[in-house]
A and B are shown apart, each in its own frame.
Chain A
Amino acid sequence: MTLVTGQHIGAKAHGPLPRLSSAARRLSSAAQRAVLEGTWFRYLTGTAALLPALALVGIVVLLATKAWPAMVVNGIGFLGRSAWQPGSTYGAAVRTDGVLHPTGSDYGALPLIVGTLASSGLAVLFAVPLSVGAALAVVEKLPRRASQLVGMFLELLAGIPSVVFGLWGTLSFGPVLARDVYPVIARHVPDVPVLRFLRGDPGYGEGLLTAGLVLAVMIVPIVAATTRDLLRQVPDLQKQGAVALGMNDWEVARKVSTRWVRAGIIGASVLGLARALGETMAVAMVSGSLLGTMPLNLYGKMGTVASTIVQQLDGAFSDGTGFEVRTLAELALVLAVITLLTNVGARLLVRKVATTALPVGRGI
């Protein structure tokens, strides 16, 4: 929006006003005040728009400077090692490459990265078919009232804090699964080398599969709401053409609608994946919090990057050299990079159309 200039509207100079263009200075005093206000407002809002960028730079710089000494000592093998040994914190500290750390300290993030990717992958595996099916039913089949009810359910599901999901997972869902579902699966899976991961002791309901299922419940709102919005935008012409060719409504839904929004569904799944990757509290409560080793089987305890940071950070300074704090910074950096790549992938695949009252894209 540009200001009209070049008009001598009662030119009365009241002394020099700062930062007005020569054209603007020829305006009336009221108009000059208006221009000034606009300029100040522009600077104010510009500063506000700059703050997220500055915050991002600050976060990256802080993490990088904190993590760099740990990256030097842990090396690139950090991403491929299975270990979590703080070392002899009561013994002497040693220097490796100029970095102080306890003797025998050995950190490896492989089980955590695998745990993060596996639990999030399981979540997407379970959530996407359910969400697409529910979205199809809501858009194509269900009457308006039922659709609104399901929509409200989705919003409520999106808004419930993740600690409440963790509480439910560890007190109700996990024990029920461990008692009734896992033993059935474990018993009936054939003892073939490939499927051995699905056999074994079901435990008490805290582990990889439970974490995956709880995460699935948490990302269903995002995927379902996005798919529903996408399905609503399939052009009627396409659907009517299909009906004219003799397809019944299920075939229209399956062969036309979902085909039309296929890229969008993939994008929505990646969005859900990004949400699941960053999830901390519910996973910390139902994953069993294992450090340093891979889960033994599908039901076994495991740890994720986020749950490890939240559980280890409060005791990290008891390592007087500060090395554990730096390793946690390195983990935070790894997590930030993984989620960044996932988010970039999601943005490339879908442009979100938010028509829900409460944007369910934000996870909590």
Chain B
Amino acid sequence: MRNNYFVRPNRSNKASARAVLVGATAGALAMATAATGLLGGVAAAAPKGSQATSAPTKANETPPKARLDLSETGSTLLYPLFQLWAAAYHKHYPNITITPQGTGSGTGISDASSGTVNIGASDAYLSPTVMAQYPGIENIALAISAQMVNYNVKGVPASVHLKLDGGVLAGIYEGHITNWDAPQIKALNPHVNLPNEKIVALHRSDSSGDTFLFSSYLSDTNPNGWGKSIGYGTSISFPAIPNALAEEGNGGMVTGCAATPGCIAYIGISYLAKTEAAHLGEALLQNRDGFFHLPTPATITAEAAAAYEQTPPDEALSLVDDAAKAGYPIINYEYAIIPPKEPNLVQAEAVKAFLYWAVDPTGGSSPSFLDAVNFQPLPTSIARLSAAQIAKIKG
């Protein structure tokens, strides 16, 4: 009959039902074992010392054994140092390749916020809006750097350092001071033979931490002028004056200033060798107490020392124009901006290991690396803050 077509005899029913049950249990057991094995495997890949102490030690500077490809992007000021670090770390641990890119601090912050890079580099700390929008994002201080003001003036040899202050610089970039022999510049440099040459004011076209530092200095020294009308940031609207020029990256600022007679430019100190090779002059800048200084290890450290105690645990602090008699006014912490969550646990461990090595005075912060870029190492108190932040990196 039709309705018996698919009904089997009782005996085969029981047997097949039992078979189904056995098969299902076996399958479930197999899947459970596989799942635990997988999860266990991932956890096992992370080194045992993942609950490491905050201070950099040889233990937590060792990255995982897996072959990893980490990416770094951002500040062109930190880029020369990162190139040295990446090459040295790869020699130490050939399984870890760090790809550095010099794209500007704005890109470093941006890519770290959106999680498309492992380490973002920035001369500027994170804004409160970014910290609120991406909870868990960190800016970790790695070193102390400074910014020069360079110029290319006819008849002024590189051995003579022009004295400039915030008011004059703001006047130049706003277009009020147009020639090198303007009375304001002459007043600061009475004994220098300044030519009647047009000033060409170079600024950064990309979103830049150097722009942040320079505009911070101009805002701090001209609170009612530049500070009110233009302010500071990685990307500001420079006044449109006839003699302005935009360049991309610190490298572009160096080549642009070298090729433009009469130029003035703000360039990071890691390019000192290049500016000297291009015979660009370096300015003495006036600090808050009225003294003129060049960025040297002594003046940088003096200026930074005034801020160590005020540095908060998240290390977001401007070091520009602190009160220090012997200090150079434009200095900053160099930051590694870490995304709220690294793509996976293994990469997070590798990033932590690398950063511990970077702030270690016997590792990345040794004079052999920092002297090449004219940076200063972090003092122990700040290094401890950095290590505490490194420990919080999640994967």
Contacts and interface: CB of A to CB of B under 8 A. Distances in A.
A–B interface present (Cβ within 8 A): yes
B314 interface: no
Contact of A318 (B110, B237, B240, B242): B110
A89 B110 contact: no
Interface of A: 83-86, 88-93, 102, 104, 204, 288-293, 296, 301, 311-312, 314-322
B103 A314 contact: yes
A293 B240 CA distance: 7
18 contacts: A85-B236, A85-B237, A86-B233, A88-B231, A89-B129, A90-B231, A93-B129, A104-B231, A288-B246, A291-B205, A292-B237, A296-B242, A314-B110, A315-B104, A315-B107, A315-B206, A317-B113, A318-B106
B292 interface: no
A315 B106 contact: yes
Nearest to B337: A318
B235 A290 contact: no
B174 to A, nearest CB: 15
What are the 7 closest A-B residue pairs judged by CB atoms, nearest first?
Answer: A315-B106, A315-B207, A320-B129, A317-B110, A320-B130, A318-B109, A85-B237
B134 interface: yes
Contact of B240 (A92, A93, A292): A292
B51 interface: no
Contact of A84 (B130, B134, B237): B237
Given A318-B106, A320-B133, 7 more contacts: A90-B233, A92-B129, A314-B106, A314-B107, A317-B111, A317-B114, A320-B127
A73 to B, nearest CB: 16
Most buried by B among A88, A293, A301: A88
Nearest to B246: A289
Contact of B111 (A83, A293, A314): A314
B9 interface: no
Given A292-B240, A318-B235, A102 B129 contact: yes
B259 interface: yes
B248 interface: yes
B259 to A, nearest CB: 7
A90 B110 contact: no
Contact of A204 (B127, B132, B259): B259
A264 to B, nearest CB: 41
B110 A311 contact: no
Say which size band chain B's interface belongs to: 20 to 34
Nearest to A203: B245
Contacts of B206: 311, 315
Nearest to B122: A318
B109 A83 contact: no
Contact of A86 (B130, B131, B235): B235
B234 interface: yes
B338 to A, nearest CB: 15
B246 A301 contact: yes
Nearest to B259: A204
B240 A321 contact: no
A91 B130 CA distance: 11
B49 interface: no
A34 B366 CA distance: 75
Given A315-B104, A315-B107, A320 B235 contact: no
Contact of A89 (B103, B127, B259): B127
Nearest to A311: B206
Given A90-B232, A311-B206, A321-B133, A316 B246 contact: no
Given A204-B259, A314-B107, A320-B134, A89 B235 contact: yes
Contacts of A322: 133
B128 interface: yes
A290 B240 CA distance: 10
A292 B246 CA distance: 13
Interface string B112-136: 0110000000000001111111100
Contacts of A292: 237, 240
Interface in B18-33: none
Contacts of A318: 105-107, 109-110, 113, 127, 130, 207, 234-235
Contact of A83 (B129, B132, B237): B237
A317 B109 contact: yes
Contacts of B231: 88, 90-91, 104
Contacts of A290: 246
Contacts of A89: 127, 129, 233-235
Interface in B203-243: 205-207, 231-237, 240, 242
A88 B233 contact: yes
A83 B248 CA distance: 20
A221 B307 CA distance: 62
A321 B129 CA distance: 7
Nearest to B127: A90
